[in-house]
Amino acid sequence: MRILLSGATGFLGGHLLRRLHQDGHSVIALGRNKTRLAELAGLADACLLHDLADGIPDGVPSVDAVIHAAALSSPWGSRAAFQRANVTGTETMIALARQCSARRFVLISSPSVYFKFADQHALAEASPLPPPVNAYAATKRQAEKLVEAATDLDPVILRPRGLYGRGDTSLLPRLLKAARNGPLPLMRDGKAATDLTHVEDVVSAVLAALDAPSSLPQRVFNISGGQALKIRDVAEAAALRSGISPRWRRLPVTPVLAAARLAEWSCRLAPGQPEPPVTAYGVGLFAYHQTLDLTAARTWLGWNPQIDFETGLALTFSQEAA
């Protein structure tokens, strides 16, 4: 296949590009990081330095499929920045896909659209969506709606939970930084749990989405490692491999959430709107159970996670050390 890949210079995008190249696909890679794009040049037929929020790039040939992995993914930032990257960028990618005669559009979305400050077990794709917890969740939901409406592009939307692996700059690095800087919050007796996903499992889910029939009965699919992992166990396992002895401090949820919201409000008013030490969303991840139901992906995409957390963690740290 000839595939147009956005976000090629990102964590997931880089892994996707390597796998697509390995499998013999022809890839046109879009990215915003000039240095990183140059490093990936040997894996793509063409590398285009471009910000999708600036409009449609020139010189993109016809393609069979589009993978839209570009996004601003962060617990903090201005609404305008998220709108520009996640909504305007998706609008541009849809227009580009049509211009390039693509027959399948795969969007990498996020299960943050499900999040609320309550325990949620085995959420299915049809679960009612709560009010967005932050600008990231709000703009990812907007992007999903845009792609769902583009029925001529035979869309598939994936919501992968908690990506980690070689090259991760977000999930485990943030957790380990917090563990180095002080005690981690232990709320509700450590009941909080989530399901993480090794990046190579997300790659295999994208490949399954590319190959899925056009007769799919639904267009949105949860993707995860399929294991309900206690946040405390995740932190301690990652810290152990980093030579850190994490400390825990028992705290009540309500005042911690109130303090986080106050910190967010203060940072919004400060020059440059710096990121607060902790966000309300971050507190929620340490306080509540949030897991996904994978029945639809297993049934309709023929996809199953292959890398359990213990194996994925070993791969992540052994590869980084190498």
What is the pLDDT of the chain when averaged over all its residues? Answer: 94
How large is the average pLDDT for residues 72-92? 93
The span from the CA of 260 to the CA of 256, in Å, is: 6
pTM, to two decimals? 0.94
CATH number assigned to the domain covering 2-167+196-223+292-306? 3.40.50.720
Give domain limits for the chain.
2-167+196-223+292-306
DSSP bridge pairs for 198: 164
Collapsing DSSP to helix, strand or coil, 40 comes out as coil
Fill in the DSSP letter of residue 30.
E
Does the structure show a pLDDT above 90 at 74?
no
pLDDT band at 318 (very low <50, low <70, confident <90, very high): confident
Closest CA to 159 of 129, 191, 135, 131: 129
Q: Report whether 147 contacts 156 (CB < 8 A).
A: no
Does the structure show a pLDDT above 50 at 104?
yes
- For 105-130, how does the pLDDT look when each residue is reduced to its tens digit (9 = 90+)? 999 999 999 999 999 999 999 999 99
How high is the pLDDT of residue 236? 94
How large is the average pLDDT for residues 286-301? 97
- For 248-272, how does the pLDDT look when each residue is reduced to its tens digit (9 = 90+)? 999 999 999 999 999 999 999 999 8
How high is the pLDDT of residue 59? 86
Q: Report whether 155 contacts 105 (CB < 8 A).
A: yes
Identity at 177, one-letter amino acid code: K
Q: Report residue 136 CA to chain centroid gap.
A: 11
How high is the pLDDT of residue 72? 92
- For 172-212, how does the pLDDT look when each residue is reduced to its tens digit (9 = 90+)? 988 999 899 889 999 999 999 999 999 999 999 999 999 99
Quote the percentage of the chain above a pLDDT of 90: 88
Does the structure show a pLDDT above 80 at 320?
no
Which position has the higher pLDDT, 74 or 85? 85
pLDDT band at 319 (very low <50, low <70, confident <90, very high): low
pLDDT band at 321 (very low <50, low <70, confident <90, very high): very low
- For 11-56, how does the pLDDT look when each residue is reduced to its tens digit (9 = 90+)? 999 999 999 999 999 999 999 999 999 999 899 999 999 999 999 9
pLDDT band at 292 (very low <50, low <70, confident <90, very high): very high
pLDDT band at 322 (very low <50, low <70, confident <90, very high): very low
Instruction: Please measure the distance between the N-terminal and C-terminal CA atoms of the chain and give it in whole angstroms.
Output: 32
